[in-house]
Amino acid sequence: MKERVLKRFTDEIAALERELHVELPKEIQRARELGDLRENAEYKSAKERQDIVNARIAMLKRRVSEIALMNLDRIPRGKAGFGSTVHLTGPGGDVVYTLVMPEEADAEKGLISTASPIGRAILNKEVGDEIEVTTPGGTRSFEITKLITIYDE
């Protein structure tokens, strides 16, 4: 999981750097050739995009370094943690979630961020534990019926 996120981020960084260093300079040059820069929407747009791309690259590089430093050996054995698949039984029936990084979260696919309310409630819990999650619709209770950690896979 960690490697998949790192690859996705490094691929995005490469694409953004290409845009920043190849495509945007061409756009800016074309816009300059149109004349007066004070009323040149193409120039302003390209410069704004340049700022956005720079900010996104900086954020992605910071996140890559944080993820690279993540020590997966610190994930508890026998308890829910990053990468765990958790089977829950609750008032609405059974649900299955996999705890992932925020960048991979997709509730419709059962991928829940460890930073989300339900993800935080599940962390460090074991089979048989009951959890309560406060949602916009009110508090919901679940019981963990099955747990598969990254060590079990």
Here the CATH number for the domain that contains residue 55 is 1.10.287.180
Put simply, whether the predicted model's pTM sits higher than 0.85 gets the answer no
pLDDT tens digits, residue range 31-66?
A: 888 877 777 888 889 999 999 999 999 998 988 888
What DSSP letter does each residue of 11-22 carry, written as one string?
A: HHHHHHHHIIII
**How many structural domains does the chain have?**
2
Tell me the CATH number at 120.
3.10.50.30
Same domain, 87 and 49: no
Q: Which of 12, 39, 70 is the endpoint of a domain?
A: 70
pLDDT band at 83 (very low <50, low <70, confident <90, very high): confident
Same domain, 106 and 140: yes
Same domain, 79 and 137: yes
Higher pLDDT, 145 or 71: 145
Q: Let me know if residue 153 belongs to a domain.
A: no
Residue 81 · residue 127 · CB < 8 Å: no
Distance CA 19, CA 78 (A): 45
Residue 138 · residue 64 · CB < 8 Å: no
The parent domain of residue 44 ranges over: 2-70
CB 49: neighbour CB atoms within 10 A? 16
